[in-house]
Amino acid sequence: MQRFHTVKLEFIRPGPAHNQLLSPLTPYMALCGEGSPVTFHIDLEHHQLLSRLERLRYFSASGTSTVRLPNRVRESTVAEVGGDVERIYAKLQTLLAEEWKAVGASAARAGDPGDNMIHLRLVLSGSELSMIPFEMAVAPEASPGGGLEFLLQFQMPIVVTRETRWTRSLKLGWDEPREPKILVVAAEPAGMTVPLKAHVQALRESLGPWIRHPKSRGGKEDTPEEKAKRRLEYVKERLRVLPNASIESIYELCSQEDFTHVHVLAHGAHLEFGGETRFGVALCRQDRPSAMEVVSGKRLAKALQAESRDAARRSLPLVVTLATCDSGNVNTVLVPGGSLAHDLHTAGIPWVFASQFPLTKVGSVKMTSALYPRLLRGDDPRRALYEVRRLLFMRAERDHDWASLVAYATVPADFDEEVSAFFESQTKRAIDRCLELADDDGTPVPEVDKALARTEELLELWRSRLPEGDEIQHRTRRAEFYGMCGSTRKRISLLHARRKQGKESEQFLKSSLSSYREAMEQWAVDRSKHHWVSTQALSLTAILEGEPEPVTQLLAEQLAQRDVEQGQGATKAWGHGTLAELEMLAPYHLGESRAADEEKVRSHCRSIIAISGPDSFEVFSTRRQFERYLKHWKHERWVKVAEAAVDALTPADRSTRSRLLSH
């Protein structure tokens, strides 16, 4: 399980954020951890920094032409700038103390040292400080990994994110209930070119585990072309591409659809502002796509946060990635504002990934193909940033894309819990997609076996990230995992039953029962959801002819009844579903003196429809469960009650009834 030791390092000075040049005479104050404030000076003149930054570009302006810089010049400048930043860090004893505190905490824990990381939150109050490439630093000699690249060393992995004192990100959680949906904003005005195909392919592959698979249609065999066409429609539900993008077309699309991630693939270009030059993004003009319009970060933020046409919502992306040269480059400190990334972040976008130098086309593809699978899988974005930087460094030949990568981020106090919740919801979705593919009668057997193997891999990944300890929240997360294991293996058991593999079916059914019982143990201290796994365990015990469990039966009934009486919405509907199933199982676990009441079962089923609606998932899921008692677990003990439940949950309308029964 990943653990982050968060260190907040804030640089402050008197005066406004803009209109201040770097100078060895300027006193700065560093606030870090619990230590006293440290006053220090930065031994750089502003023109020296500008000269170094110019040498980190691949081309340098020379009169009316541009000259390609020799590789040796850039490579030596990377080392030179790394040393400059090292000397800044070396002056901060409070930072060094926090780093060694994290090392001590890591040593006290078992496991892979790479699972323990330092998150350095860099808070910069001056525009001139934002120009310094802190991500390029060499680790000071007295720190962990001394002498190595600060953000690449493995002695005590460190990840840096930037923010400002006045950042006020919108109230967006990393575990937003929205399913991820990506917008690709691409622009090639004025003869510019971007590797759009490679980026779209990388994003498409990243989304693969969560894209629905076309189901076979009533025995009709689809041609490969028809399947590809139907699959493409599902891809478009999660990935939209906006070519020849203008600021107006971005606003229009964001006002119509809700995107969680926005990937901007365009060139950086100079933008005149207040008599000074800074960097914007080169988009297309709306009236003439071949012409260029350079857009600032503030304008782009307004487009990405568009209001819907009915004024009922506003587009609120969680992540913006800028595969754009100089998108993290401030360039000038004389006027208010900052880089593209800075302006997007201060406008309220929680996470912005950008490049503070020119970004190579190959590097932009590498960044996208490495970053998005991790983000969409539910990895902590801080860990993803660390790994992507290392991958860029490892694959680099003659570039410094690894040092260009910069992230502006808002990290709330409960961010670890938000990340865990998102990872678990994404894993559930990926497992559902695998099982949907395996359940489809039209799926070839080799593909079914691959889907089932992938399901086990996902469960094992989830298991590896379970928290330890007896805290209620940790036990609840483990209970959710074991409940999902039980549900997954029950579905796999049903699949083997359909394939006439009785031995395998029984084996997975027993494994499912074991998982449900483990979930019951974990939920023993918090019984708010106990009745769900208890009912599943009672069901499988009856199916496998196990020993009756009257105590568990009565407890589950009490807890489900409480949800019916005190719950609202879906909670109340699920309570009725549980009581309907428990009523059917009562004779097995409580003895023949407790006969199942078919009318009670019908009443509970009608209540689910009244609460959630006939087309709701609650109705579909409950009906599917009772159908299993008729198709796969048929027994005279419950066949009449199960038929009554299915009949009550199936609409009288023939077309709707036929559609639902075909699921």
Q: What is the pLDDT of residue 663?
A: 43
Whether residue 475 is predicted with pLDDT greater than 60 in this model: the reply is: yes
Q: What is the mean pLDDT of the chain?
A: 90
Q: If we measure between CA atoms, which residue out of 4, 13, 9 comes closest to residue 34?
A: 9
Q: What is the pLDDT of residues 221-248, one digit of tens each?
A: 667 788 788 889 999 999 999 999 999 9
Residues linked to residue 161 through DSSP beta bridges, in sequence order: 121
Q: What is the pLDDT of residue 276?
A: 85
Q: Check: CB of residue 66 under 8 Å from CB of residue 54.
A: no
Spatial neighbors of 506 by CB under 8 A, at least 6 apart, are: 493, 544
Phi and psi (nearest 5°) for 96?
A: -60, -40
Residues linked to residue 407 through DSSP beta bridges, in sequence order: 353
Q: What is the pLDDT of residues 9-65, one digit of tens each?
A: 999 999 888 889 999 999 999 999 888 999 999 999 999 999 999 999 888 766 556
Share of the chain above pLDDT 70, in %: 93
Going by pLDDT thresholds of 50, 70 and 90, the confidence category of residue 662 is very low
User: Of the ranges 229-238, 283-292, 330-339, which is most confident?
Assistant: 283-292
Whether residue 534 is predicted with pLDDT greater than 60 in this model: the reply is: yes
State the sign of the Cα–Cα–Cα–Cα dihedral 643, 644, 646, 652: positive
Q: Which of 117-126, 164-173, 192-201, 289-298 has the lowest mean pLDDT?
A: 164-173
Question: How far is it, in rounded angstroms, from Cα 616 to Cα 608?
Answer: 9
Query: Average pLDDT in the 603-627 region?
Result: 95
CA distances, 274 to each of 180, 238, 293, 333 (Å): 38, 40, 17, 11
Spatial neighbors of 11 by CB under 8 A, at least 6 apart, are: 28, 29, 30, 122, 123, 124, 125, 126, 129
pTM: 0.91
Question: How far is it, in rounded angstroms, from Cα 109 to Cα 111?
Answer: 7
Angle at 263 (CA atoms; ends 290, 277), nearest 5 degrees: 60
Query: For residue 38, which amino acid is it?
Result: V
Q: What is the pLDDT of residue 34?
A: 84
Query: Average pLDDT in the 87-108 region?
Result: 86
* DSSP states along 561-625: HHHHHH--HHHHHHHHHHHHHHHHHHHHHH-TTS---HHHHHHHHHHHHHHH-TTSHHHHHHHHH
Whether residue 656 is predicted with pLDDT greater than 50 in this model: the reply is: no
Question: How far is it, in rounded angstroms, from Cα 529 to Cα 531?
Answer: 6
Q: Is 276 exposed, middle or buried (0-12, 13-18, 19+ CB in 10 A)?
A: middle
Query: Average pLDDT in the 606-613 region?
Result: 96
Query: 3-class SS at 554?
Result: helix
Going by pLDDT thresholds of 50, 70 and 90, the confidence category of residue 644 is very high
Q: What is the pLDDT of residue 428?
A: 96
Q: What is the pLDDT of residue 657?
A: 42
Whether residue 342 is predicted with pLDDT greater than 50 in this model: the reply is: yes
Kindly list the strands in the beta sheet with 319-323, ordered across the sheet, starting from the edge strand earlier in the chain.
38-41, 27-32, 3-12, 116-124, 158-163, 405-409, 351-355, 319-323, 261-265, 182-186, 239-242
Q: If we measure between CA atoms, which residue out of 382, 190, 349 comes closest to residue 264?
A: 349
Q: If we measure between CA atoms, which residue out of 79, 92, 111 comes closest to residue 2?
A: 111
Angle at 608 (CA atoms; ends 605, 609), nearest 5 degrees: 95
Spatial neighbors of 187 by CB under 8 A, at least 6 apart, are: 194, 243, 244, 245, 246, 265, 266, 267, 281, 282, 283, 284
Whether residue 629 is predicted with pLDDT greater than 50 in this model: the reply is: yes
Q: Check: CB of residue 605 under 8 Å from CB of residue 580.
A: yes
Task: Specify the residue for token string 């912005």.
Answer: 352
Phi and psi (nearest 5°) for 592?
A: -65, -15
Q: Is 193 exposed, middle or buried (0-12, 13-18, 19+ CB in 10 A)?
A: exposed
Q: What is the pLDDT of residues 100-114, one digit of tens each?
A: 888 877 766 655 555
Question: How far is it, in rounded angstroms, from Cα 260 to Cα 321?
Answer: 11
Whether residue 655 is predicted with pLDDT greater than 60 in this model: the reply is: no
Q: What is the pLDDT of residues 31-45, one digit of tens each?
A: 998 889 999 999 999
Whether residue 659 is predicted with pLDDT greater than 50 in this model: the reply is: no
Which of residues 653 and 83 earns the better pLDDT score? 83
Q: What is the pLDDT of residue 2?
A: 67
Residues linked to residue 162 through DSSP beta bridges, in sequence order: 122, 408
What is the 8-class DSSP label of residue 318?
S
Measure CA 172 to chain center.
13
Share of the chain above pLDDT 90, in %: 74
Question: How far is it, in rounded angstroms, from Cα 83 to Cα 77?
Answer: 10
Cβ count near 558 (within 10 Å): 12
CA distances, 379 to each of 343, 388, 406, 544, 646 (Å): 26, 12, 18, 38, 41
Question: How far is it, in rounded angstroms, from Cα 363 to Cα 357?
Answer: 12
Q: Give the strand pairing for 292-295 and 405-409.
A: unpaired
Q: Check: CB of residue 298 under 8 Å from CB of residue 281.
A: no
Phi and psi (nearest 5°) for 632?
A: -115, -30
Measure CA 202 to chain center.
16
Angle between helices 569-590 and 550-566 (to 10 degrees): 160
Angle at 492 (CA atoms; ends 486, 498), nearest 5 degrees: 140
Q: What is the pLDDT of residue 171?
A: 66
Q: What is the pLDDT of residue 455?
A: 97
Q: What is the pLDDT of residue 658?
A: 45
Whether residue 574 is predicted with pLDDT greater than 80 in this model: the reply is: yes
Q: What is the pLDDT of residue 479?
A: 93
Whether residue 598 is predicted with pLDDT greater than 90 in this model: the reply is: yes
